[in-house]
Amino acid sequence: MRRELLYLRDVHENTLQVIETVESFRDIMTGTLDIYLSSTSNRMNEIMTVLTIIATIFIPLTFITGIYRMNFHWMPELSWHYGYFWALGLMVLVALGMIAYFRHKRCF
């Protein structure tokens, strides 16, 4: 009887040790998963920042292009000899101004 009790006590201790090891591995895996999800989220935030900056630069250019695409007869720039180049220059200035602003704010 004494021998079986010692054996069962030893089995119990080994079982508790295995349970603690499994819980330790589970904690390590949870930490690893958290690190992976955090790095994925950070990468997604970087991508979204770049896409937002690109969209912010192109929205005013699209607006300017839309205005000049309407072909109104009373727009003075349409009769200018260099009206087309003036519109392109305006678009370049707007784009460069926004890029300079984003560089100043250290967005990229």
Structure-token match 């920042």, residue found: 49
What are the tens digits of pLDDT across the range 41-100?
999 999 999 999 999 999 999 998 888 777 777 777 777 788 788 888 989 999 999 999
For the chain, strand residue ranges (E) read none
What are the tens digits of pLDDT across the range 29-45?
999 999 999 999 999 99
For 9-106, strand residue ranges (E) read none
Which pLDDT score is estimated for 52? 92
Tally Cβ neighbours within 10 Å of residue 76.
7
CATH of 2-104, one of 1.20.58.340, 3.40.640.10, 1.10.10.60, 1.10.760.10: 1.20.58.340
* Model pTM above 0.75: no
User: Residue-wise over 33-48: b if at least 16 C-beta within 10 A, else e?
Assistant: eeeeeeeeeeeeeeee
Residue ranges per structural domain of the chain = 2-104
